[in-house]
């Protein structure tokens, strides 16, 4: 099994040669323009913990003074014409070079992790910490990372909310092997605290705290959500009972066909509502929190008005994004109840009754309050959304996108969208399976 995930000798040589050549080229360019630059290969490529088939290089361009940061960025732009500028906390360049995906990240060189100027400055410290300790455990890291990939919990980006590569490495250092991590994780509960160096001053109430050994106030697992942590724990428990290669290599589902979607809708009898709009031009770590915020605002609106939602999710595909709401109740009776003030608040009652003059029944008294029954404004969930969506708090970029146009697809109208990414999302949505139920 390891053979499948461990880079071959040829692959290792290719990565070594490519990174060495690239670093020399960058050093030469820096020298030419008199820029004092420390060029560093960091990340899994540097530590020998990359998975076979990954062609990612993280190259950090360390500078000593602020003015040189911008020069380092300019230099990074010149490495390859095939590049995009990205932005995390600082701008960096993502380039395609010799078949590798290369991140060229300017950072400050600081002498102590306690004096960081930005989050990227921490990476060289992480690199050093792991490199000094990981020798002999690289395969354990590879197994753990692949297990995390296969069970859908790998990746600390906000879209996933899972485990970072660094966190996986620290877990191996902490427990000693892949098998030991699995065994420990199978019993995990939220509130767990791990501290390799026993220096921790982390105060957060995160579900898992892994004290960063190079910066003891920081939780390495800060981006890990409760559900991903427990998904990993459940997968570990299941794997211990019935170990299977499937845990390492999950096949993403095929895009659903029209007929499959129709069959699922028929079987479930729910009404899917898809609110679709242009994806704002921001990175996923900005987009996804806004999509989640929009999702929760829309759900709160629907539930406040008496509708109910079986489940919901968010997606971005191509240059589009969407909220999917699977409705358990999407139509309500036209008649509805409006509860007014307590009877003894005479002025409020006068105003309440004046504001509700077209009544079907009442006014009557219930639990001490005046109540009337009147026609509901929106008896269909889709009508409510159409009327109120642009008044909701959806996140800055999504609000702007919604204002410039959106479309609501209901039920079989969802078939109108043919995009493969969207159809795979639907397959995953309907399956919604984080473990095989027969395996526990």
Pairing of strands 335-342, 320-329: unpaired
Distance CA 48, CA 96 (A): 21
Residues that bind a second copy (CB under 8 A): 187-190, 226-227, 230-231, 233-234, 237, 267-271, 306, 308, 310-311, 327-329, 332-337, 342-344, 346, 349-350, 353, 357, 359-368, 370, 372-373, 379, 430-435, 437, 440
Distance CA 166, CA 154 (A): 11
Q: Which two tokens stand for residue 284?
A: 């996923």
Helix axes 123-131, 165-175, angle to 10 degrees: 30
Contacts of 285 (CB under 8 A, 6+ apart): 88, 157, 158, 159
Distance CA 268, CA 265 (A): 5
CB of 370 to a second copy, least distance (A): 7
Distance CA 160, CA 155 (A): 6
Phi first, then psi: what are they for 242, rounded to 5°?
-135, 80
Q: Which two tokens stand for residue 29?
A: 């360019």
CA dist 382 → 63, 274, 322, 336, 390 (Å): 54, 10, 15, 18, 13
Distance CA 301, CA 306 (A): 9
Q: Which two tokens stand for residue 1?
A: 């099994």
Tell me whether residue 179 is exposed, middle or buried, using C-beta atoms within 10 angstroms of its C-beta: 0 to 12, 13 to 18, 19 or more: middle
CA dist 44 → 76, 360, 425, 430 (Å): 21, 68, 29, 34
Contacts of 279 (CB under 8 A, 6+ apart): 287, 316, 318, 319, 320, 321, 401
- Cβ atoms within 10 Å, residue 21: 12
CB of 39 to a second copy, least distance (A): 42
Distance CA 187, CA 189 (A): 7
Residue 224 in contact with residue 167, Cβ under 8 Å? yes
Measured from the CB atom, the residue of 327 and 384 that comes closer to a second copy is 327
Q: Which two tokens stand for residue 9?
A: 């000798």
Nearest to 105 by CA among 138, 73, 145, 139: 73
Tell me whether residue 260 is exposed, middle or buried, using C-beta atoms within 10 angstroms of its C-beta: 0 to 12, 13 to 18, 19 or more: middle
3 state SS of 66: helix
């Amino acid at each position: 099994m390891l053979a499948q995930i461990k880079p071959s000798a040829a692959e290792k040589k290719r990565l070594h040669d490519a990174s060495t050549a690239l670093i020399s080229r960058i050093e030469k360019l820096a020298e030419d323009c008199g820029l004092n630059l420390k060029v560093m290969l960091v990340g899994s490529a540097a530590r020998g913990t990359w998975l076979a088939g990954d062609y990612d290089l993280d190259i950090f361009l360390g500078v000593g003074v602020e003015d040189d940061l911008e020069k380092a960025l300019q230099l990074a732009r010149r490495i390859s014409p095939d590049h995009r500028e990205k932005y995390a906390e600082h701008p960096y360049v993502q380039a395609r070079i010799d078949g590798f995906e290369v991140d060229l990240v300017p950072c400050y060189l600081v002498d102590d992790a306690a004096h960081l100027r930005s989050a990227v400055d921490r990476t060289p410290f992480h690199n050093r910490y792991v490199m000094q300790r990981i020798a002999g455990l690289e395969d354990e890291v590879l197994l753990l990372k692949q297990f995390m990939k296969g069970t859908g919990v790998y990746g600390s980006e906000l879209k996933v909310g899972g485990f970072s590569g660094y966190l996986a490495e620290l877990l191996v250092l902490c427990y000693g092997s892949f098998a030991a991590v699995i065994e420990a994780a199978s019993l995990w509960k939220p509130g767990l605290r791990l501290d390799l160096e026993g220096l921790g001053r982390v105060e957060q109430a995160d579900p898992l705290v892994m004290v960063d050994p190079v910066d003891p106030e920081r939780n390495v697992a800060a981006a890990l959500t409760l559900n991903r942590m427990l998904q990993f724990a459940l997968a570990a428990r299941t794997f211990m009972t019935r170990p299977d290669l499937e845990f390492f290599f999950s096949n993403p589902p095929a895009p659903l066909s029209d007929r499959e979607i129709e069959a699922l809708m028929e079987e479930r009898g729910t009404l899917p509502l898809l609110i679709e709009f242009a994806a704002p031009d921001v990175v996923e770590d900005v987009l996804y929190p806004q999509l989640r915020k929009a999702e929760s605002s829309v759900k709160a609106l629907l539930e406040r008005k008496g509708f109910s939602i079986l489940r919901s999710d968010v997606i971005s595909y191509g240059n589009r994004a969407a909220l999917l709401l699977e409705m358990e109740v999407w139509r309500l009776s036209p008649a509805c109840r409006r509860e007014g003030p307590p009877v003894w608040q005479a002025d409020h009652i006068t105003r309440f009754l004046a504001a509700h003059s077209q009544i079907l029944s009442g006014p009557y008294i219930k639990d001490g309050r005046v109540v009337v029954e009147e026609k509901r404004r929106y008896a269909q969930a889709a009508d409510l959304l159409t009327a109120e969506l642009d008044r909701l708090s959806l996140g800055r970029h999504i609000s702007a996108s919604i204002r410039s146009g959106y479309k609501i697809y209901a039920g079989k109208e969802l078939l109108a969208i043919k995009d493969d990414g969207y159809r795979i999302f639907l397959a995953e949505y309907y399956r919604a399976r984080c473990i095989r139920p027969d395996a526990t």
